[in-house]
Structure formats: C-alpha cells, structure tokens
C-alpha cells in the first residue's frame, strides 16, 4: 500500500494520539474553570485498541507518535502502554506531552519503557502567575518533575512549551531563557490559537514568535538559526551566539506551516482528525469495534488522509472553529 499522503502531496509521518480527555489542570486558554463533561469509559479506546490503530498506522507510513491528552499521565499504566508501542516495528520516535505534575513519580518508569522525547507544558516560572493561568497552585511539582527527568538522559530532548499570550507572557521570556540555558532544556513558545473551550480567543491576545524573539535579542543579541532540513518541523529553532541553549517559536498564526504539515491526530474516543482545526472526523472506533480487517482500517485512514485539509484559515473569513476544543484533541 502507498505510504500515507494527501491530495496536496504532503507525506504524513506523524500521529498524535490522545489517550484521555481528562486533565488535572484548568488552563484558561484551554478549558473552563469547572472543567468539561468527560467522555464515558465505554467511549474511550482501550490500550489494546489504541495499539492496534497505531500498529496499522505505522504499517502505512507513520514514523513518529506523540501521546497527548487532556493530561495523558492521569490515565493509568501509561508506561506499560509506552512499552507496548515500543514493540511496533517501524516506529522511529515515541514522545509525550504532559503538564508535568505527575512526572516525578513516572519519569523512571517512562524512561525504562522506552519513551524517546518529552514536551512539558509550562507557561510561567512565577508561582502566582502559574496558578492564575492553570487554576492550580502546582508550579513546584512541575519543577520537581523536570528535575527528576534529568536523571534519565535517554529521554532527550526535554522541551518546555509555553503558550504565548499578550499581556501575560512578555515578562517571563528572559526568565525562561535563563532557565532553559542553565538546564539544557529546549524552550519553545507557541502562539495562542482559537481552540479554547470558552471561545474567548481573539487575535489581539496573540503575542507572536517574532515579538518574543525580539525580546530575547535585546538581551542576547541576534539569535542564530538552526536548520534541520525537515520542512515539516513546526518550530523555528535558534541557538545563541555563545552556542549555549536552544529556543524555538511555533507560529501557527503569524507564520503558518500548513504547507509542510505531516500530522494527523487520533482522539481518545477513536476519531481520526486530519487537521487540528478539522470540523469533521473519521470514526476509527466504529471500524475497529465493527470487526473490520486491518486492510479495511488502513484503507479508511488512507481515505481520510487523502482529504486532509489544506490549511487553517485563522484570520480569514473562511475560518471555522474546530468541532472540539484543545483538551478533546490533545494538541
């Protein structure tokens, strides 16, 4: 079977798998303070079902899998699931995005299970600001989780992802740079996207990657671009003139990267999303629970990917909000 590609010729190699819609944070740019109605247990794919879809997806061209949520580590036995996925032949990279507060307990077992890389979402190093945005006073536990992770260098790189919001993030930028350079973390800022459940996003709230780069360069001078030759990379990566540390800017709004998008997503309830801003989904759970063959499952994924959206239309009159909010998609 042909490797996964869409009608625009984009080769699809990366799959993000949300293993739960639940989260122990209430980040204001993602979900309401009272949370959201969670999916019922029967709606959520078992690890066996998730592994089955992952195995078929890898057999038709997926090379990288990232586990997301909600907060993935609130689901039990994630290390065991990582171990299962690691057995899939052809899977080159297995990573995880987490808010970090359960990392101290799980760093060791995740490393032993074969996790390759990790992204930790952290929007401020200031306790009060952290608590204000996440509605949880848990900064200390996230920092403890990061410190614990340092004991397991097999998980590399460790990326810190901060959502950049105007009027909130500017004053943290240089603190984060110092923190990342001292700790050898890769620091990245992600522009605020209209995926919040409260639907309060407005373009005036966006602090662009270009603006953050300018703040950094006032202190450190011109940043030095890092080129990897991988067009599907979402971050614009830079190092410093002294070569210490790396920062990156993910600018889906000010500098969209859809032209080289290589990503698809699977939701915790088994829906295939071919774009973060998709308004329609393909029900792989029904295919699986309907007893269909691996060939039929593969054909269904191929069919969905062929119709993958060209791009998001943020800022354009054609823009339509996704049919789910961020915590139900998993970033």
Residue indicated by tokens 């997503």: 265
Q: By CB under 6 A, tell whether 257 contacts ligand SF4.
A: yes
Nearer to ligand SF4, 258 or 298 (CB): 258
CB of 273 to ligand SF4, least distance (A): 8
Handedness of CA 262, 266, 271, 275 (dihedral sign): negative
Q: By CB under 6 A, tell whether 226 contacts ligand SF4.
A: no
Q: Strands of 224-226's sheet, edge to edge?
A: 224-226, 235-239, 246-250, 186-191, 158-164, 117-121, 93-98, 64-68, 14-18, 263-266, 271-273, 282-283
Nearer to ligand SF4, 77 or 280 (CB): 280
Q: Which of 265, 267, 261, 258 is nearest to 312 (CA)?
A: 258
Nearer to ligand SF4, 55 or 263 (CB): 263
CB of 330 to ligand SF4, least distance (A): 12
CB of 285 to ligand SF4, least distance (A): 21
Candidate list 226, 311, 321, 323; residue touching ligand SF4; CB under 6 A: 311
Q: How many of the other CB atoms lie within 10 Å of CB of 1?
A: 11
Q: By CB under 6 A, tell whether 253 contacts ligand SF4.
A: no
CB of 311 to ligand SF4, least distance (A): 5
Return the range that interacts with ligand SF4 (CB under 6 A); candidates 208-216, 242-250, 291-299, 305-313. 305-313
Nearer to ligand SF4, 236 or 312 (CB): 312
Nearer to ligand SF4, 207 or 305 (CB): 305
Compute CA distances 208 → 106, 120, 189, 194, 249, whole Å.
34, 20, 9, 14, 8
Nearer to ligand SF4, 88 or 258 (CB): 258
Residue indicated by tokens 């990503």: 263
Phi then psi dihedrals of residue 136, to 5 deg: -145, 130
Contact track, ligand SF4, 276-295, x by CB under 6 A: xx------------------
Candidate list 258, 283, 292, 323; residue touching ligand SF4; CB under 6 A: 258
Mapping DSSP onto H, E and C, the string for 205-268 reads HECCHHHHHHHHHHHHCCCEEECCCCCCCCEEEEECCCCCCEEEEECCCCCCCHHHCCEEEECC
Do residues 185 and 158 make contact, with C-beta atoms less than 8 angstroms apart? yes
Return the range that interacts with ligand SF4 (CB under 6 A); candidates 28-36, 46-54, 82-90, 307-315. 307-315
Which residues lie near ligand SF4 (CB under 6 A)?
A: 257-258, 261, 263, 275-277, 309, 311-312
């Amino acid at each position: 079977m042909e490797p996964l590609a869409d009608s625009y010729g984009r080769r699809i190699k990366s799959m993000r798998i949300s293993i739960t819609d639940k989260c122990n944070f209430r980040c204001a740019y993602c979900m309401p303070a009272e949370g959201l109605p969670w999916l019922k247990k029967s709606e959520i794919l078992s690890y066996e079902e998730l592994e089955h879809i992952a195995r078929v997806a890898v057999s038709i061209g997926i090379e990288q899998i990232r586990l997301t949520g909600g907060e993935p580590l609130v689901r039990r036995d994630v290390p065991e699931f990582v171990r299962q996925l690691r057995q899939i032949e052809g899977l080159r990279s297995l990573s995880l995005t987490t808010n970090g507060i359960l990392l101290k307990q799980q760093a060791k077992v995740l490393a032993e299970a074969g996790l390759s890389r990790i992204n930790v979402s952290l929007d401020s190093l200031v306790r009060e600001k952290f608590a204000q945005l996440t509605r949880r006073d848990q900064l200390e536990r996230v920092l403890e989780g990061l410190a614990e992770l340092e004991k397991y260098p097999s998980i590399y790189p460790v990326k810190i992802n901060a959502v950049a919001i105007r009027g909130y993030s500017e004053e943290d930028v240089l603190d984060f740079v110092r923190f990342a350079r001292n700790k050898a973390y890769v620091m990245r800022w992600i522009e605020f996207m209209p995926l919040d459940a409260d639907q309060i996003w407005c373009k005036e709230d966006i602090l662009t990657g270009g603006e953050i780069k300018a703040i950094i360069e006032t202190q450190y001078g011109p940043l030095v671009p890092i080129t990897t030759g991988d067009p599907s990379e979402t971050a614009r990566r830079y190092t410093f003139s002294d070569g210490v540390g790396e920062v990156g800017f993910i600018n889906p709004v000010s500098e969209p990267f859809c032209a080289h998008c290589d990503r698809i997503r699977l939701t915790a309830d088994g829906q295939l999303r071919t774009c973060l801003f998709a308004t329609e989904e393909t029900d792989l759970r029904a295919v699986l629970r309907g007893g269909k063959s691996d060939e039929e499952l593969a054909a269904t994924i191929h069919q969905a990917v062929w119709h993958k959206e060209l791009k998001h239309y943020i800022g354009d009159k054609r823009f339509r909000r996704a049919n789910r909010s961020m915590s139900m998609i998993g970033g």
